[in-house]
Every structure is written in C-alpha cells, then in structure tokens.
Structure 1
Amino acid sequence: MRQFSKTSRRSFLKKSGIATVGFMGLYQFVQSGSFAGGVMDNIGYGALQPDPEGILNLPKGFSYKIISKAGQPMSDGLLVPGSPDGMGTFSGENGRVLIVRNHEISPDDLEKGAFGKENELYSKVSTDLLYETGKGQLPGLGGTTTMVYDPKTGEVEDEFLSLAGTVRNCAGGVTPWNSWLTCEESTVTSGSYDGKLDLNHGYVFEVPALADRQLHKAIPIKEMGRFNHEAVAVDPKTSIVYLTEDRGDGLFYRFIPNEPGKLYRGGKLQALVVSGEKSRDTRNWSDLEVPKFPKNQSMAVSWIDLDDIDAPEDDLRHRGAEQGAACFARGEGIWFGDGELYFACTNGGEISAGQVFRYTPGANEGQANEAEAPGTLELFAEPNDKEILKSCDNVAIAPWGDLLLCEDDKHPFVVGITPAGEYYKLAENVGFRTEFAGGVFSPDGSTYFVNIQGAGLTLAITGPWNNNA
C-alpha cells in the first residue's frame, strides 16, 4: 500500500481555488439534475457492491473486518462498551495503530456500559480515577476505550478502558502532542437521575494515546467551557483548539491556551463572529426570516471573549449570541487539514440536510494584531439534496485530501468529497438501521476505521485507496 507523506498530501487549502469552483459547478449540476443517484458516476472508487454478509456495501476491491463488538470481554476484564462514536488514531510501536474511541452512553444505560448490566464489574476499577461515580450506583458510563491494532494481521491485540466516569462522550479530536480530547455531549447537572449524580457535566477531557492498559484519571478541562460539546480540532501551529456545539442554535468556539500543549493550565474561550454583522445566522433554514448565508464565499471573522463559561444555566450559547456570535445548526465533526479546518452541521441548509463549513485561521490567529489578517469562514458545501448528502456528522480528511463524512441516519452512507468538489459514496450500511460514527484513517492512510453505532461495531476498511489519490 502506498504511503502518503505530509508533503505529498493534496490539501483542500492548497486547492482552494479549484475546490471553490468545483463546488459552485457542483451546485449547478445538482440544480440541473446531471447526477445519477446523487453522485457523479465516474468519481471516487466506483459503484458499491452488495455485501454477501448483508452488513456493509463497499466499492470493488475493498473489504472490511469487524475488529471490535460491544459486550465482548476486553483485556482488562471489563466489557467493550456500546454506542461507539468519535475516534482518533496514533502511531504505536512496531507498526501498531493505537485507536482511542469514545462511547456515547448515558449513566442509566447499564446494558451498554463496561461494568455489566448490573455494574457487577464496577469493583475492578479504582473509583478515584473516575470523574462521576454516581454514589456508586450510577457511575458515568461514557468515556473512552483504547485498542492496539496490528494492520498486518487485522487483529486487535489489546483493548481496555482508558477513561471513565463521564457522560455521553460523543466526538473529540486528536492533538499534536499525542493525546485524544474527548467531549461530553451532555449538560446534566449534579442531582440528576433521581439525585444519583454528584457532579455537573458538559466538559472536555484529555486521554493520553498509550498502549499501557490502564484507566487514566478523568479531569475536566473546565476553562474550555461547559456546554453540549461535540468535537474539537487543534491547530498544530498554534495549539489553538476549535470546538463545535451540538445544538440547533449552537456557536463555534476556540480556546487559546495559556501555554501551547498544556490545556490544563488554562486559557481563553471565545466565540466566532462574522465581521461587519451584528449577528449572523448560518443555518439557512427555509423558514428563517433572515438573509441566507452565502455559499462559497469567504467571510472575514472576529472572535469575542466569553465569561461565566461554566454556565450553570446552560446558556453560554445564548449569551454569546447576544454579543453577536454566529449561530450554527448542530455543529458536529471537525477536522484540521493543512492550514484549514472543516466542520459539519448536521441539520443546516434549506432542507435541513446538512452543511460543511471551512474555517481558515488568519496569519496572526489568536494574537493581539489578528484583525490585520483575520481568519475566514466559508459555507463550503450545502447540496440540499438528500441523495447526495444527509445529516453529515463525523468528519475526517484523508491523507490525499478527500473529505469523508459519516451520515447520522437510519440508512447511512460514508460520503466522500474530492478537493475538486465532487461527491461519491464510499460505504453503505445495509445491515443495521443506525448511524455511522467516528470514521478516521490510520496514520499511514492504509485503513479507514468506522463505527456502526447502534450495533456496537467497529470496522476496519482496506482497499486501493491510492486509486483516488
């Protein structure tokens, strides 16, 4: 399999002119009906082939393997948790791949937890390492598991609980310093669940990417704000963290750390404002009596400081909007490429089928003089055709530049978008009426890992990726 070096990657940013023209042309083709089945016939890897097992349809030459299943025993004596969601991959020793995986589990969903249906395995963990113990009755069942995967054999050699005591860990993001940021998509408070919860939730936690088979202490990074977190992306040049919010009226945030790579040492949380506008609604819903956010147009932005970020009333987004912050329709997956990032909004657009935005940091991003060269926001994709894209959720950029989107739908696809702005279907879930989640490539680009969430499955997909590079 071809290896893709950093210098050989075709980034969306480097082809921004082509990409913009491509998407403008694509929109015209959509309007004129020049698509077959919603995608260009000669783009991507070809037609999806029926799976004899009735689980996952893939293009010719591709194959998949189920590498993890909820409920199975792990190396640490616990059970693989259910509802797998966001994932990050890291290079391990001797060619191994470390996969850190979220689990979007609520405290009372015991059947999906790592401790068994009656928490009978709870005594196997040190409660000092958990964030929420739930008075020993209802511990936070969200968190992360870590897998050690051997791409040569296609086998998981080790699998263990790496963070626990949190709630509904949905997505997150990898860091340049070899860790995974996992986010709680919940704002439940102390006293919830009939008084069993002791603590407030809605935070980001950091998990080291290590093959150490141990549970790491869950410590919230409170200065990154308390809200319905979805995903994060870190700019490797500045260590600035960008964050999405899974709300119908959510904001787009950034966290400027006091010390690069040391998030627990504090920093400043801000929200994005479209420059020159008192407020800007990016959702483009047909029933909104506000101007539509333009497609394929770079808009200069500024950022406002937020206060009272622990938000006991869960009103951080409301207060930000009052200060002029832009509003987004359920911010979801986010991924940093070469000098730019992309994030999905699940139900944005005129028919609420989804949008993809591109944010390009300014030359002086996060500095006092950043207004001299501000960052820009672009509505990169809004096809308004569910045959092309619907309910886009997790996002990943392939090593060769394609953007891959997991659909959050009962009949979901993994949808690819090339740097030239052309759509194709990479995978189709035909076995389970539940969403794709957590799609991410191995560091060398040879394997695409993805979850079928409701079925509790993690799959490894391999094939001739270089044919599209």
Structure 2
Amino acid sequence: MSFSPALIPSVRRRNLLKTFLLGASASSLPWLAGCSGSDNPLSGTGGRVTASETNRFGGTALNNNQFRFRNIGPLRDADANGVRTAAGFSTRVVAISNLPPARGATPWHIFNDGGGVVPREDGGWIYCSNSEVPGVGTLGFQVPELAPLTNPLEALVPGLGGASALVFAADGTVEDSYRILRNTTFNCAGVITPWKTWLSCEEIPTGLVWECDPLGIQAARPLPALGLFSHEAVAIDSERRVFYMTEDMPDGRFYRWVPTAGDWPSSAARANMNQGVLQVLKVEGDLAQALNGPVRYSWVNAANPNAPQTENRLPDTAVFDGGEGVWYQNDRVFFATKGDDRLWMLNTTNQTIEVVYDMATATAPNNILSGVDNITMTPFGEVLVAEDGGDMQVVVVYPDGVLVPLLQIVGQDQSEIAGIAFSPDGKRMYFTSDRGGPNLQGGYGLGLGMLYELLIPDTLPNN
C-alpha cells in the first residue's frame, strides 16, 4: 500500500500524554503477581514460567478455586446497557461511534474491533482499538475469485479503516481519544507489543500488519516482512522472538514470522520487524487427528513471502477454516477458527497441536460456545472467547473443558463481540459490540459500534 497513515496530532495533548506514558510493567501490576516471567500476559506476549508451575493451558492456577472467573455464578437479567453479568459485576458504555468520548476528543471510530491496553506511568492506561471498515480489498476477501481484480484496485484507493486510542485516567475517567492509524482497510485484531506499540492487522488478501504509536505522535508504519494475507490477529513470544499470525480465509493457514538476529538482536528490547522468515505450519499426518489428542507439527518456509499468500499456497501445509484470535502464553499458542467453531492449542515445547474445544463434537460438558472469534487469556490459564454472533457472549474456556459465560449482550444479535482487554490493575475489562449503538427508546441496539467496560468486583467466589 502506498498511502501513508500520517497523523496531525494535537501537540498539547500528545505532550501531556508523553509525560505519563508507558511506565508500568507487568511485574508491578497487582493481579499479575502470580504470573512470573511474563512481559505482559494481558497483551498476548510474554515469557515463560516453569512447567511444573502451570496448568494444561500454561496458566498459574493449579486448582479450580485459583481461577478468576470459574465460580462467578449465573448471569442475571440484562442491565440498562443491555448486558447480562453475574452478581457483583456491572457495566458502562465508554465510547460510541461518531461521538466524542470526552470533551474536545476526536469522535470514536465506527465498527470497532480488536483492542489492547497500554499502561501509563500515572496509573492510567490507553486502549488501542481497530476500525474494521470494509473497502475495495474486502471484495477479494469475501469472494476470493475477485481478488486478482480487487488487489490492484485496493492499492489505488485509500481505505477508510484504521485504529484509534482511548485515554483513561487512573480512576477510569475517559480523558481523550484520537486516531493512531488511517487509510487502511478492514482492520481486525492485533496485539500490544512488549515494547508497548499496537500492531493492527488488515483482513484483506493483500493485508498488512501496521505498527502504531499509542500516542499518535509517530506515523504508523507498514510491516510487509510479516506477509501479505488476510491478517486476523498476531501474538508474540518475546523470549523465543517469534510472531504467530492467523489468516481469516476458508483455506487459511497458520503462520509464524522469525526475525533475523540483526532484526531483533539479543540485547535489543524490540524487533525492527523489517527482516525475517515467514513460515507456515505443517502437520505430520492428518490434522483431523488433533481432535483426539496432540499431533506433531513443523514449519516450512512460505512460498514467495513478498506476494499475496492466497496465490502461493503450499499444498502440504495445514488448512484452517477462518483463523480468528491468537494468544501466546507460557509455551502455548491458542487460536480460534470460526468456520468449524474450534479452539486450538500449540505446545511450542513439544511441537504439538490439538483441539481443546470443538462445538460439533461437544468437547465441553456445557456446549454453549459458538461463533468463536477474538480470544484473550488471563495469567491463570482462562481463555476468554468473544462470540461473533452466536449468543453474543464472552465465554471462558477452562483446561478441563468446562465453559463459563462471563457476560452476554442482548438485543444486538447482528453484531459481534471483540476487543477484550483488561486495565493494568485487572479491575476493568473492555469489549466491543462492533455493530452496537443507541436506539430511539433510550437503550442500546444495533448501530455503528460501541465500546463497553466491565467492572469486576474486588472479591470473587472462591478466589
């Protein structure tokens, strides 16, 4: 893509923010104290802890009472915001599309999707959010046969998507919002990097990953080294220096990108993301066997990594039907596939892949999860799955197969939930309804997108 997403920031605003930016580390956050060895377990990046200290999902909870949301109880009737939660939880709406979230702020973007949180030194935080606005390239995503026509047109027409930042004070007050990425198309999910920038993924056949400055001072930059394909999401193993990426296509693949030693030196805090090797996952034997237990996998170099991967498929690589969210934690990589409603787990130590949730075969005792999409994990080993459609729930998946509904949005069945991210202290959780909005009756229904906050009680059952 030739269009620059350069921004024109408010100098006063950005200088104020710069004073307070990005000082908190995961080790200083109270509710992460049990997750040693991680750069930031809430952002999908991090290091490892000893295997004996973790459960099957790589979390620190070693019995059911140590999980955070395992015993929260049934969901109550919907609140005034149209959200069902368990006792002790509450919600508020913090941003609505086309409206400024705070006085003097930039209006919130439409179709908000994936998101992540960056801490500030003063105790506040910045929520980075994608804007999944379709464009010319989306036609090639929806109808792959049109991609040869729409791919070159996409390079000529600026996209209407991008990403924005929402700034919170330490007490949760919304202080500001502004754009951090412009002129891109169908921005879906992403990740907060260990060096505290936001990676935003374009979900079109020639899609790129873009690195964004949460302050909006530096212009976002494209990362073509990470491949051209319908990027859905990315996760980073900062200890091994590996990026994992999903592709949202019916014949999608699962990728990893390994930077060269010069691109991410051992002494460097961050990768340049300019030089590396794009690889595709290959399974030894039949991928269907992963429903029955772990199957060995390996990696092969992508064919023509500088060209759209839909035109350069390696036939012996594993096919995944609609790759969605991805998360790395303690030698495990989790990702979801929407075409078959599955949650997968890679064990990067054993080099095995297995299905840990499959709707069709009812792997869970209470089979309530469908429309799997974005995923997020807690340090304790809980996988939070956002539903695209389904029952519009956030469902927590546990290592023993039990599913627990954390919340449910009602009256917005044509929408989807995405963008799950926690405040640095773990007391607030953000989630989007990408087609939600105010209705004429004074409540909420379908619209152009909105962002919710879940307030989590200080004391949870059996925790």
The bucket for the TM-score relative to the shorter chain is 0.7 to 0.9
Distance in 1, matches of 2:73 and 2:250, equals 35
Query: Is residue 435 of structure 2 the alignment partner of residue 454 of structure 1?
Result: yes
Q: Which residue of 2 aligns with 1:344?
A: 336
Equivalent pair of 1:56/1:428 in contact (CA under 8 Å):
yes
The Cα of 1:293 is off from its aligned counterpart by: 2.8
Query: Is residue 407 of structure 2 the alignment partner of residue 398 of structure 1?
Result: no
Per-residue deviation, residues 115-170 of structure 1 (Å, max 9, x unmatched): xxxxxxxxxxxxxxxxx9987xx632111101111352x32111110111110000
The Cα of 1:450 is off from its aligned counterpart by: 0.3
CA RMSD of aligned residues (A): 3.0
Equivalent pair of 2:55/2:381 in contact (CA under 8 Å):
no
Distance in 2, matches of 1:441 and 1:376, equals 29
* Residues 1:44 and 1:417: Cα distance change in structure 2 (over 3 Å): farther
Query: Superposition pairs for residues 101-112 of structure 1, below 5 Å?
Result: 101-107=129-135
The Cα of 1:452 is off from its aligned counterpart by: 0.6
> Which among 72, 75, 90 is matched to residue 45 of structure 1?
72
Query: Superposition pairs for residues 366-445 of structure 1, below 5 Å?
Result: 375-384=351-360, 385=362, 387-409=367-389, 411-433=391-413, 434-445=415-426
Q: Which residue of 1 aligns with 2:259?
A: 257
Query: Is residue 84 of structure 2 the alignment partner of residue 57 of structure 1?
Result: yes
After the TM superposition, which of the residue ranges 459-468 and 336-345 deviates more from structure 2? 459-468
* Residues 1:403 and 1:80: Cα distance change in structure 2 (over 3 Å): same
Per-residue deviation, residues 386-428 of structure 1 (Å, max 9, x unmatched): 9511011000001332110000006311001234331110111
The Cα of 1:44 is off from its aligned counterpart by: 3.4
TM-score normalised to structure 2 length: 0.74
Q: Which residue of 2 aligns with 1:39?
A: none
Distance in 2, matches of 1:133 and 1:228, equals 13
Equivalent pair of 2:122/2:170 in contact (CA under 8 Å):
no
Query: Is residue 223 of structure 2 the alignment partner of residue 183 of structure 1?
Result: no
Q: Which residue of 2 aligns with 1:115?
A: none
Query: Is residue 121 of structure 2 the alignment partner of residue 141 of structure 1?
Result: no
Q: Which runs of 5+ in 1 are unaligned?
A: 23-41, 110-131, 188-200, 283-291, 349-353, 363-373
Query: Superposition pairs for residues 247-286 of structure 1, below 5 Å?
Result: 247-258=249-260, 259-260=263-264, 261-275=270-284, 277=285, 280=286, 282=287
Equivalent pair of 2:246/2:254 in contact (CA under 8 Å):
yes
The Cα of 1:84 is off from its aligned counterpart by: 0.6
SS at the partner of 1:314? Answer: helix
Q: Which runs of 5+ in 2 are unaligned?
A: 1-28, 42-47, 63-68, 138-152, 265-269, 437-448
Equivalent pair of 1:295/1:378 in contact (CA under 8 Å):
yes
Amino acid at match of 2:168: Y
Amino acid at match of 1:207: C
The Cα of 1:77 is off from its aligned counterpart by: 6.1
Distance in 2, matches of 1:343 and 1:328, equals 10
Distance in 2, matches of 1:334 and 1:12, equals 22
Distance in 1, matches of 2:375 and 2:50, equals 14
SS at the partner of 1:95? Answer: coil
The Cα of 1:2 is off from its aligned counterpart by: 6.1
Q: Which residue of 2 aligns with 1:68?
A: 95
Q: Which residue of 2 aligns with 1:155?
A: 173
Equivalent pair of 2:208/2:231 in contact (CA under 8 Å):
yes
TM-score normalised to structure 1 length: 0.73
Distance in 2, matches of 1:239 and 1:227, equals 21
Q: Which residue of 1 aligns with 2:65?
A: none
Distance in 2, matches of 1:430 and 1:327, equals 34
Amino acid at match of 2:199: L
* Residues 1:327 and 1:314: Cα distance change in structure 2 (over 3 Å): closer
* Residues 1:313 and 1:255: Cα distance change in structure 2 (over 3 Å): closer
Amino acid at match of 1:356: L
Amino acid at match of 1:16: R
The Cα of 1:80 is off from its aligned counterpart by: 1.4
Equivalent pair of 1:398/1:445 in contact (CA under 8 Å):
no
Equivalent pair of 2:282/2:300 in contact (CA under 8 Å):
yes
Distance in 1, matches of 2:274 and 2:337, equals 30
Query: Superposition pairs for residues 232-251 of structure 1, below 5 Å?
Result: 232-251=234-253
* Residues 1:239 and 1:465: Cα distance change in structure 2 (over 3 Å): farther
